[in-house]
Amino acid sequence: MREERVTFDDPVAAALRGFGPLGILAILVILAGNLILAPLSAVLVLLWAKRSRTPWREIGYVRPRSWIGGLVVGIVVGVVLKLLLKAIVMPLLGAPPINQVYHYLAGNEAAAVPFAFQLIVAAGFGEETFFRGYMFDHLGKLIGQSVAAKVVTVLATSVFFGALHYFDQGAPGVQQATIVGLVFGTIFAITGRIWMLICAHAAFDLTALAIIYWDVESAVAHSIFK
């Protein structure tokens, strides 16, 4: 993906990168996009990057050393993380074994197939572009790139990411999403690359969908703690 050179002779681009009235308006519009539909926020982030002349690399869009390698690693990370959370972490936190909000997907192929596509686009592309790419870029500009600043960024984005899951999944959703945010945020803080995380996020949610669709949530949740 070609990077654009950052120039400082474009006042609109400079304003969009900053925290003045236009910059804050852009933040609010992109945030509103995420609240409406995750992919919309990601599209808005990419449009913002283009108009503000922000290099793709600054929001994590760096060409991976291997597209296939990133895909494979992402799938492994996403699947393993979901299984660890479902079988060990969430039971320890007292979460119910069955996610009642999405249990209607059990054996429901007509609903599960389009939902799977939605997860790939919304969760993988949409949420990672917004929460890891855009928010890390903006918080980095606001508080810096020191180790302490990156720790604050990981914590802040994880809490925000988790909180947004309360509206449809309650406290267990917040707990799980916050942990996912901490894991993915830490990886992004270290690597600055988003491709593997897009794959991992999609794999995580597709694994969750598969567990629900095959109606083995309770079995997985009780596989360690009977």
Q: Give the pLDDT mean for 114-139.
A: 91
Per DSSP (E only), the strands in 127-185 are none
**With 60 as the cut, is the pLDDT of residue 8 above it?**
no
Average pLDDT over the chain, rounded to an integer: 92
* Side chain identity, residue 206: L
**With 80 as the cut, is the pLDDT of residue 95 above it?**
yes
| pLDDT digit string, tens, across residues 18-76 | 889 999 999 999 988 888 887 899 999 999 999 999 999 999 999 999 999 999 999 99
**How many C-beta atoms lie closer than 10 Å to residue 21's C-beta?**
9
Place of tokens 């290099």: 55
**Single pTM value for the model:** 0.91
Containing 22, the helix (H) or strand (E) segment is helix 21-36
Q: What's the rounded Cα separation, in Å, for the pair 221 and 63?
A: 37
Integer CA distances (angstroms), 34 to 31, 56, 135, 192, 205, in order: 5, 20, 12, 21, 18
Distance of CA 205 to the CA centre of its chain: 11
- Band (pLDDT 50/70/90 cuts) for residue 9 is low
- Band (pLDDT 50/70/90 cuts) for residue 2 is very low
- Quote the pLDDT of residue 6: 46
